């Protein structure tokens, strides 16, 4: 982030979401987003490739957080112990003040198939990264993939609840509830 | 399938994979695929929207199988019992004689990011369909989503093993092993 433009990324993201809500995603231009943020188009393109990417800027942070958390989990942690530790740190990326923003963002994404596809791809990359981090710790391939995929599923379900209209519980609580539910579901036999 | 063109879809799929392997996916045209299959371009387009879709024709069958299996699972089956029943039927869609074909198909997909994205989207749709089938059986939303996502993870891991170069175990065995591994992984605590 440049020193003379404190939080240019955050301002662009906020401006973009306001405009997408006001006039629709299709009808919003990069020039308008930059103007609303009080920045130039050149600055926009220094941070984001296009108006779609503005919605996914936060995932770069998530990738960092995930990598750090996976690397710093206790050496003797089980594969799913690492995943739990990662989810715990990821939950901190979704503080209460971010919730209205996340709700608006999801409404835009849900309304556009190409944005939903983009989101799926980012989630798949999160899962692949988590799986790679587990393999780097010596976990066997299939186990690493299963642990990573289920971890991302736990996150998706918790996040879906968190942005629900009447949901007041925080992300940590919901992530924990989702994890407990996962264990109950997978323990529940073939019956 | 038209009466006078037995298995046009299968012939087009086989011809496409041969050509993708011989001259590369990019350099293969729909006209060439149709010619190799002994069919017309018009017939090609009656079955597939483009040369990308030929690789994903089989997923339509998977969707049918999944829906039928989920609907016909015992009424008192647990959410994951339904998922297990579905995986059991899905395994039958991958008989031994299909394995070389699946290996060739995956090699093409893995070499092309846009095909990998397409595959992710199909898998996400499978998960969404399975989740919807569970909700239709009265399973709560988050539970249905977790069960469906983990079910698809089990399938992905089993399928990844199945098409491995030296793998000889059948899909049913691998699906079962993946399921057992999932239970072990998710039961393995925070430790």
List, for residues B37-74, the tens digit of each pLDDT value: 999 999 999 999 999 999 988 777 888 888 899 999 99
Nearest-by-CA chain B residue for A85: B190
Long-range contacts of B140-145 (CB under 8 A, 24+ apart): B142/A157, B142/A160, B142/A161, B142/A178, B142/A181, B143/A181, B143/A185, B143/B79, B144/B79, B145/A153, B145/A156, B145/A157, B145/A160
CB A21 within 8 A of CB A108: yes
More confident residue, A79 or B59: A79
Answer yes or no: do A146 and B154 touch at CB < 8 A.
Answer: yes
| Test mutation, A185, A188, A190, A191, chain B, max B CBs within 10 A | A185
Question: Looking at A11-15, B19-23, B62-66, which range is the least confident one?
Answer: B62-66
pLDDT of residue B5: 54
Nearest to B117 among A121, A160, A181 (CB): A121
pLDDT of residue B188: 76
Nearest-by-CA chain A residue for B119: A121
Question: Looking at A4-8, A53-57, B182-186, which range is the least confident one?
Answer: A4-8
Q: What percent of chain B has pLDDT over 90?
A: 78
pLDDT of residue A191: 45
A85 to chain B nearest CA, in Å?
Answer: 8
Q: Is ipTM over 0.90?
A: no
CB A40 within 8 A of CB A26: no
Q: What is the mean pLDDT of residues B97-122?
A: 91
B-side interface with A, Cβ within 8 Å? 76-81, 84-85, 117, 120-121, 124, 142-143, 145-147, 149-150, 152-154, 156-157, 160-161, 178, 181-183, 185-191
CB A99 within 8 A of CB A171: no
Residues of B in contact with A191 (CB under 8 A): 76-78, 81
Answer yes or no: do B178 and A142 touch at CB < 8 A.
Answer: yes
Q: How many residues does chain A have?
A: 191
pLDDT confidence of A189, banded at 50, 70, 90? Answer: low
Answer yes or no: do A157 and B147 touch at CB < 8 A.
Answer: no
pLDDT confidence of A2, banded at 50, 70, 90? Answer: very low
Measured CA to CA, the distance from residue A156 to residue A45 in angstroms comes to 29
Measured CA to CA, the distance from residue A185 to residue A150 in angstroms comes to 12
């Amino acid at each position: 982030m440049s020193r003379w433009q404190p939080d240019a990324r955050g301002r662009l993201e906020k401006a973009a979401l306001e405009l997408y809500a006001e006039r629709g995603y299709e009808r919003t231009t990069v020039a308008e987003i930059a103007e609303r943020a009080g920045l130039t188009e050149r600055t926009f393109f220094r941070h984001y490739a296009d108006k779609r990417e503005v919605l996914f800027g936060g995932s770069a942070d998530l990738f960092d957080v995930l990598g750090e958390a996976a690397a710093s989990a206790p050496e003797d942690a089980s594969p799913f112990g690492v995943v739990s530790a990662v989810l715990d740190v990821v939950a901190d990326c979704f503080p209460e003040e971010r919730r209205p923003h996340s709700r608006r963002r999801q409404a835009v994404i849900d309304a556009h198939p190409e944005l939903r596809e983009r989101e799926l791809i980012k989630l798949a990359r999160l899962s692949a990264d988590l799986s790679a981090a587990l393999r780097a710790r010596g976990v066997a391939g299939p186990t690493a993939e299963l642990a990573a995929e289920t971890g991302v599923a736990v996150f998706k379900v918790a996040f879906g609840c968190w942005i629900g209209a009447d949901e007041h519980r925080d992300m940590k609580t919901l992530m924990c509830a989702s994890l407990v539910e996962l264990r109950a579901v997978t323990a529940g036999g073939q019956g």
